């Protein structure tokens, strides 16, 4: 056991029992899984992902590349053991790089949206100072801290502030922040992304004792962001630097100080700067031996050397560890002069504490980064970064910068604040410069840069040898920094190695790679929150929806609407049901819920003129009481939407749109009214949900209507095609009934206020019962309209099709201008050889062409690229035709009627004859139905 008898910030009064890989593990509240493993002497974790090399715990923070675990009981896929707080019953599985996705569903995930004046990221001394200064001014402040405790590096050191230990200053700051009414402190909260205009995503976790566990995603909009994210220690690339027992020096110290865990008994410290001396001194004080401290600098500060000598630590300067040995854990290191790596001394040890310098944690900085040669690291240019995040590692500097930045942020957001007097700091030795050491001469295949990706110096050299120079290219070539740790420990080391291989002075010469959110992996479950299952997307249903459900309808999603697709009877598949429904509409009577069609009220003295400009055909002269089919194009002349519009009054039209395009059409109308034609006095209002619509189609529909609407003259003479009437249904419901047809049959559409929808439906269904009235769905509607050659915008068109391509020249007005008209004279829209709408009849009458199938000349070579002649847009079985048929867009199609084309489908070739697109009742004789005789 390496748990020290005292010390650390853990609760030794209570013992926690959990398991890792099924093996029992004990620890205390305050432990992480990593500290408990180390305390139990279990340094080694799962082998590396790609090379299968033994690996151990390296860090004490979220950048841990090796010790990844899957939490089984929470569940949580692939998290660093350094981030998992110990709790009773915790069951974890160590992972070799790859976790198992869990569908989730057990854990409570929720979202909160807040505005803040100032968000301070990181609650070390600089962040605490910033939050205090900003919060005292009255600003709304969020202080976001990743760990369970505030204080950052102050929890690991001996510094004193205003005469008291650092932790006491932290406690005072915490209680002051808690008392500030507009300040909120989030702990166990990780900022995953910092986006435009101060938008932050923060993932907050519950404390381990809170059951059930929860997670919360904060969406914060901040006016000012203060980055106090601290710094991360970087390793050094020497041969065997991935062996279990090679740890970062700061992590070794943190395990001692925060968790009372001595990670090794005999420790070689290998450093390029001052900070690792503190680790060496703490180790000796904790009873470990430090046989050697190797400093890359030729002249380290004399005071440090003297203190080392006083506690019995030999210091070797101008040198580095140049190799390690050991079976599953380091057992000895080789140490040599940097300038003379050939002659190495061998030192026995069970741990190597490596301090390769400190990189400001800048992944959340939004501005440019610059290389600071003083600290040998990239630092943010903007002054919103404070403390170690800006390369200031002294405590006095951290506090001063934090106070200043907090006060400035508060002032900038309209709250008066001045920076507090900087407190007196003791035990904060002046830092001397690091001597950056990226890699030592030696076996590059054994010198690791990115432990999570198993990227070595040899890999970086291979990238350079391949001619790559840009860090972004080398990153992608080697996968350096692309692991789940996002290169937290490896990225700057990799840039340093690259710079050295390129012969550059420093990584500053090649620049840093761009960090992109999320800075840490986020669970999809957390991003979704409660927006899942039925809450994922709004569901729109018609007033008759429950009836459709009871009738056994199979639904289809159209936009957010649920529409009955067909109503299968027992034993029927879709094809059988649709043939039956089609036959009913063609030979008897059938009814459909058409409520979902978009409906827009267009009102105002200029409504007619407005519709004339947006429709390709004329509407200004449409008589009140009449309806007209209209088509809209975009300015480039392509079909945008279509539908029937009624004129209810001289200044009032009711436009219908396709179901899926209703919102886009309203947007379109408003855009033109607001931006181009503000002089037109017109208002547009969506009334889709105010009306329920029932289509009644078929030769017997007149007889049914006569019963449903007894006051109405439903005769062909009394109620003409494309007319509408206001009337009362027999059950007293006011209705607007129009005679329009999307099937070619005699048909009526009954519009009633939506709250009458079900009653009107019931009346039609009852009055049609002895005619065998048959409810039909969207699939039948599609077949009926396709038999007539009526297009569906968005199915038979795709934004590259003009009305002329559809053969609908009649819908293009010659007498007025409208959106898109000029484009019909453009060379591209006027050229021959455009794709045109045609019908297709498969030569084999039973074969159903797949929609989307490509069509080619039978004689064309099948060696790619095969010239494509067009594609199938709609394809069905027809009860009326007794065979299959299709619609298609085909190059120069109208001139090819009668030709045979082929649809190659895998190893089959389907032959199809090109036909006119109108298959059924081309004379339009059925529109008026039976004449009452």
Partner 1 sequence: MLQIPCPWCGNRDEVEFRYGGQAQVAYPEDPVALSDAEWAEYLFVRANPRGRHAERWVHSDGCRRWFDVVRDTATNEFAS
What torsion do the CA atoms of 161, 163, 168, 172 make, to the nearest 10 degrees?
-80
Looking at the Cβ atoms of 301 and 559, the one nearer to partner 1 is 559
Looking at the Cβ atoms of 311 and 830, the one nearer to partner 1 is 830
Which residues in the 813-842 window bind partner 1 by CB under 8 A?
A: 817, 821-823, 825-827
Task: Report which DSSP code applies to 149.
Answer: S
In whole angstroms, the minimum distance from the beta carbon of 685 to partner 1 comes to 11
Which residues in the 26-85 window bind partner 1 by CB under 8 A?
A: none
For residues 454 and 877, give the distance between their C-alpha atoms in angstroms, rounded to a whole number: 58
Which of residues 6, 13, 421, 675 is near partner 1 by CB under 8 A?
675
Looking at the Cβ atoms of 822 and 930, the one nearer to partner 1 is 822
In whole angstroms, the minimum distance from the beta carbon of 819 to partner 1 comes to 8
- Contact segment (CB under 8 A) with partner 1 among 289-297, 500-508, 667-675, 702-710 equals 667-675
Number of other CB atoms surrounding residue 917 within 10 Å: 28
Q: Edge to edge, what strands does the sheet with 900-905 contain?
A: 854-855, 870-878, 883-891, 835-842, 908-915, 900-905
Kindly state the tokens that stand for 6. 């005292």
Looking at the Cβ atoms of 96 and 223, the one nearer to partner 1 is 223
- Contact segment (CB under 8 A) with partner 1 among 23-31, 497-505, 669-677, 802-810 equals 669-677
Is residue 930 involved in binding partner 1 (CB under 8 A)? no
| 3-class DSSP state of 340 | strand
Among 596, 736, 722, smallest CA distance to 658 is for 596
Longest CA–CA span in the chain (Å) reads 121
- H helix or E strand, kind and range, residue 692: strand 691-697
Burial class (CB in 10 A: 0-12, 13-18, 19+), 591: buried
Looking at the Cβ atoms of 366 and 895, the one nearer to partner 1 is 366
Cβ–Cβ < 8 Å for 506, 250: no
Find the DSSP H helices in 326-468. Answer: 395-412, 457-465
- Contact segment (CB under 8 A) with partner 1 among 25-33, 388-396, 670-678, 709-717 equals 670-678
Which of residues 6, 175, 674, 863 is near partner 1 by CB under 8 A?
674
Q: How many residues does the chain have?
A: 933
In whole angstroms, the minimum distance from the beta carbon of 668 to partner 1 comes to 11
For residues 90 and 24, give the distance between their C-alpha atoms in angstroms, rounded to a whole number: 10
Which of residues 670, 892, 899, 916 is near partner 1 by CB under 8 A?
670
Looking at the Cβ atoms of 242 and 641, the one nearer to partner 1 is 641
The torsion angles phi and psi of 910, rounded to 5 degrees, stand at -95, 125
- Contact segment (CB under 8 A) with partner 1 among 283-291, 498-506, 664-672, 905-913 equals 664-672
Cβ–Cβ < 8 Å for 269, 276: yes
Interface map 175-214 toward partner 1 (x if CB under 8 A): --------------------xxxxx---------------
Kindly state the tokens that stand for 308. 């080392």
Which residues in the 760-819 window bind partner 1 by CB under 8 A?
A: 817
Using CA atoms, how far residue 838 sits from 437, 787, 867, 893, 927, in Å, is: 72, 12, 19, 6, 22
Kindly state the tokens that stand for 288. 């470990």
Is residue 221 involved in binding partner 1 (CB under 8 A)? yes
In whole angstroms, the minimum distance from the beta carbon of 217 to partner 1 comes to 14
For residues 323 and 318, give the distance between their C-alpha atoms in angstroms, rounded to a whole number: 16
For residues 180 and 223, give the distance between their C-alpha atoms in angstroms, rounded to a whole number: 19
Using CA atoms, how far residue 710 sits from 342, 343, 763, in Å, is: 108, 110, 12
Kindly state the tokens that stand for 383. 């002054």
- Contact segment (CB under 8 A) with partner 1 among 178-186, 671-679, 775-783, 918-926 equals 671-679
Looking at the Cβ atoms of 195 and 755, the one nearer to partner 1 is 195
For residues 303 and 285, give the distance between their C-alpha atoms in angstroms, rounded to a whole number: 18
In whole angstroms, the minimum distance from the beta carbon of 810 to partner 1 comes to 21
For residues 407 and 123, give the distance between their C-alpha atoms in angstroms, rounded to a whole number: 16
In whole angstroms, the minimum distance from the beta carbon of 197 to partner 1 comes to 4
In whole angstroms, the minimum distance from the beta carbon of 219 to partner 1 comes to 8
Looking at the Cβ atoms of 366 and 433, the one nearer to partner 1 is 366
In whole angstroms, the minimum distance from the beta carbon of 892 to partner 1 comes to 22
Residue whose tokens read 């295949």: 445
In whole angstroms, the minimum distance from the beta carbon of 537 to partner 1 comes to 14
Between strands 351-355 and 266-271, the pairing is parallel
Interface map 488-527 toward partner 1 (x if CB under 8 A): ----------------------------------------
Looking at the Cβ atoms of 30 and 380, the one nearer to partner 1 is 380
Looking at the Cβ atoms of 19 and 634, the one nearer to partner 1 is 634
In whole angstroms, the minimum distance from the beta carbon of 830 to partner 1 comes to 10
In whole angstroms, the minimum distance from the beta carbon of 116 to partner 1 comes to 13
| 3-class DSSP state of 227 | strand
Looking at the Cβ atoms of 50 and 199, the one nearer to partner 1 is 199
In whole angstroms, the minimum distance from the beta carbon of 1 to partner 1 comes to 50
DSSP string of 176-187, one letter each residue: HHHH-TTEEEE-
Looking at the Cβ atoms of 341 and 820, the one nearer to partner 1 is 820
Looking at the Cβ atoms of 148 and 366, the one nearer to partner 1 is 366
- Contact segment (CB under 8 A) with partner 1 among 384-392, 674-682, 864-872, 892-900 equals 674-682
In whole angstroms, the minimum distance from the beta carbon of 142 to partner 1 comes to 17
For residues 561 and 550, give the distance between their C-alpha atoms in angstroms, rounded to a whole number: 18
Using CA atoms, how far residue 276 sits from 672, 715, 839, 871, in Å, is: 68, 98, 80, 70
In whole angstroms, the minimum distance from the beta carbon of 820 to partner 1 comes to 9
In whole angstroms, the minimum distance from the beta carbon of 195 to partner 1 comes to 6
- H helix or E strand, kind and range, residue 904: strand 900-905
Which residues in the 618-637 window bind partner 1 by CB under 8 A?
A: 635-636
In whole angstroms, the minimum distance from the beta carbon of 805 to partner 1 comes to 18
Looking at the Cβ atoms of 329 and 366, the one nearer to partner 1 is 366
Looking at the Cβ atoms of 220 and 582, the one nearer to partner 1 is 220
Interface map 398-417 toward partner 1 (x if CB under 8 A): --------------------
Supply angle C-alpha 306, 309, 311, rounded to 5: 115
Cβ–Cβ < 8 Å for 304, 431: no
For residues 369 and 367, give the distance between their C-alpha atoms in angstroms, rounded to a whole number: 7
Which of residues 671, 713, 762, 809 is near partner 1 by CB under 8 A?
671
Looking at the Cβ atoms of 663 and 848, the one nearer to partner 1 is 663
DSSP string of 356-395, one letter each residue: --EEE--TT--S-EEEETTTTEEEESSTTB-GGGGT--SH
Looking at the Cβ atoms of 50 and 195, the one nearer to partner 1 is 195
Binding-site size for partner 1 (CB under 8 A) equals 21
In whole angstroms, the minimum distance from the beta carbon of 636 to partner 1 comes to 5
In whole angstroms, the minimum distance from the beta carbon of 121 to partner 1 comes to 18
Which residues in the 97-156 window bind partner 1 by CB under 8 A?
A: none
DSSP string of 697-761, one letter each residue: ESTTHHHHHHHHSTTS--STTTS-TTBEEEEE-TTS-EEEEE---SSSSSEEEEEEEGGGHHHHH
Looking at the Cβ atoms of 314 and 826, the one nearer to partner 1 is 826
Interface contacts to partner 1, rule CB under 8 A: 195-199, 221, 635-636, 667, 670-671, 674-676, 817, 821-823, 825-827
């Amino acid at each position: 056991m390496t748990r020290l008898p005292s010390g650390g910030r853990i609760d030794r009064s209570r013992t926690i029992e959990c398991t890792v890989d099924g093996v029992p593990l004990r620890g205390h509240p305050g432990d992480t899984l990593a500290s408990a493993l180390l305390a139990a002497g279990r340094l080694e974790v799962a082998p590396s992902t790609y090379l299968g090399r033994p690996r151990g715990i390296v860090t004490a923070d979220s950048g841990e590349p090796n010790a990844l675990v899957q939490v089984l009981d929470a569940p949580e896929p692939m998290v660093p053991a350094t981030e998992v707080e110990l709790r009773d019953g915790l069951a974890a599985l160590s992972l070799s790089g790859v976790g198992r996705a869990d569908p989730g569903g057990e854990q409570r995930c929720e979202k909160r949206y807040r505005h803040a004046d100032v968000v301070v990221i990181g609650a070390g001394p600089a962040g605490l100072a910033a939050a205090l200064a900003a919060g005292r001014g009255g600003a709304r402040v969020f202080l976001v801290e990743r760990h369970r405790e505030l204080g950052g590096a102050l929890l690991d050191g001996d510094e004193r502030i205003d005469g008291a230990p650092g932790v006491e200053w932290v406690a005072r700051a915490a209680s002051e922040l808690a008392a500030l009414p507009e300040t909120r402190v989030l702990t166990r909260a990780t900022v995953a992304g910092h986006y435009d205009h101060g938008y932050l995503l923060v993932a907050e976790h519950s404390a381990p004792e809170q059951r059930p566990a929860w997670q919360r995603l904060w969406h914060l909009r901040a006016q000012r962001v203060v980055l106090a994210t601290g710094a991360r220690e970087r390793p050094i690339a020497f041969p065997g630097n991935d062996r279990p027992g090679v740890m970062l020096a700061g992590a070794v110290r943190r395990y001692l100080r925060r968790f009372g865990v001595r990670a090794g008994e005999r420790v070689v410290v290998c450093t390029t700067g001052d900070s690792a001396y503190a680790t060496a001194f703490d180790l000796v004080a904790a009873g470990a031996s430090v046989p050697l401290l190797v400093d890359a600098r030729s002249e380290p500060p004399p005071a440090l050397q003297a203190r080392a000598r006083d506690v019995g630590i030999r210091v070797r300067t101008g040198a580095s560890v140049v190799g390690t040995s050991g079976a599953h854990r380091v057992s000895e290191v080789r140490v040599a002069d940097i300038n003379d790596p050939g002659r190495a001394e061998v030192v026995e040890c069970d741990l190597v504490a490596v301090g390769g310098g400190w990189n400001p944690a800048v992944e959340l900085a939004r501005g440019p980064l610059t290389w600071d040669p003083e600290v040998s690291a990239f630092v943010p240019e903007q002054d919103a970064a404070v403390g170690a995040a800006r390369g200031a590692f002294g405590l006095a500097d951290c506090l001063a910068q934090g106070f200043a930045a907090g006060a400035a942020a508060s002032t900038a957001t309209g709250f008066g604040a001045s920076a507090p007097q900087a407190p007196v700091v003791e035990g904060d030795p002046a830092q001397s410069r690091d001597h950056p050491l990226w890699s030592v001469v030696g076996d590059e295949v054994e010198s690791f840069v990115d432990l999570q990706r198993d990227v070595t110096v040899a890999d970086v050299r291979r990238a350079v040898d391949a001619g790559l120079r840009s860090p972004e290219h080398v990153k992608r070539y080697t996968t350096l920094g692309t692991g789940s740790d996002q290169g937290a420990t490896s990225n700057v080391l990799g840039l340093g190695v690259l710079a050295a291989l390129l012969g550059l002075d420093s990584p500053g010469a090649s620049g840093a790679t761009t960090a992109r959110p999320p800075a840490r992996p986020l669970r999809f479950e957390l991003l979704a929150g409660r927006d899942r299952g039925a809450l994922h997307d709004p569901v729109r249903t018609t007033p008759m929806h429950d009836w459709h459900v009871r009738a056994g309808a199979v639904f289809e999603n159209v936009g957010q609407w649920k529409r009955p697709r067909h109503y299968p009877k027992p034993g029927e598949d879709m094809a059988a049901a649709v043939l039956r429904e089609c036959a009913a509409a063609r030979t008897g009577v059938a009814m459909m819920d058409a409520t979902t069609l978009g409906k827009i009220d267009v009102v105002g003295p200029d409504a007619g003129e407005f519709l004339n400009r947006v429709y390709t055909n004329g509407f200004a002269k449409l008589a009140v009481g009449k309806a007209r089919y209209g088509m809209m194009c975009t300015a480039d002349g392509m079909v945008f939407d279509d539908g029937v519009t009624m004129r209810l009054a001289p200044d009032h039209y009711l436009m219908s749109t396709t179901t899926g395009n209703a919102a886009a059409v309203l947007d379109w109308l408003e855009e033109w009214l607001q931006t181009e034609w503000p002089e037109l006095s017109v208002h547009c209002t969506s009334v889709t949900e105010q009306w329920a619509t029932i289509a009644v189609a078929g030769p017997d529909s007149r007889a049914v209507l006569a019963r449903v609407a007894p006051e109405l003259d439903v005769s062909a003479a009394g109620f003409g095609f494309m007319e509408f009437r206001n009337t009362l249904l027999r059950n007293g419901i006011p209705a607007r009934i129009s005679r329009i047809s999307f099937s070619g049959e005699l048909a009526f559409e009954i519009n009633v206020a939506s709250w009458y929808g079900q009653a009107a439906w019931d009346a039609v269904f009852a009055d049609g019962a002895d005619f065998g009235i048959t409810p039909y769905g969207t699939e039948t509607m599609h077949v009926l309209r396709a038999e007539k050659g009526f297009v569906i915008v968005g199915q038979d068109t795709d934004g590259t099709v003009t009305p002329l391509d559809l053969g609908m020249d009649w819908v293009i007005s010659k007498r007025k201008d409208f959106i898109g008209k000029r484009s019909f004279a453009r060379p591209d829209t006027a050229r021959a050889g455009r794709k045109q709408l045609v019908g297709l009849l498969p030569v084999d009458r039973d074969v159903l062409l797949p929609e989307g199938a490509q069509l080619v000349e039978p004689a064309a070579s099948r060696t790619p690229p095969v010239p494509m002649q067009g594609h199938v847009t709609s394809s069905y079985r027809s009860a009326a035709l007794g065979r299959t048929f299709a619609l298609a867009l085909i190059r120069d199609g109208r001139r090819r009627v009668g030709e045979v084309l082929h649809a190659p489908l895998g190893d089959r070739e389907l032959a199809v004859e090109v036909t006119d697109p109108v298959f059924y009742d081309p004379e339009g004789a059925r529109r008026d139905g039976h004449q009452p005789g």
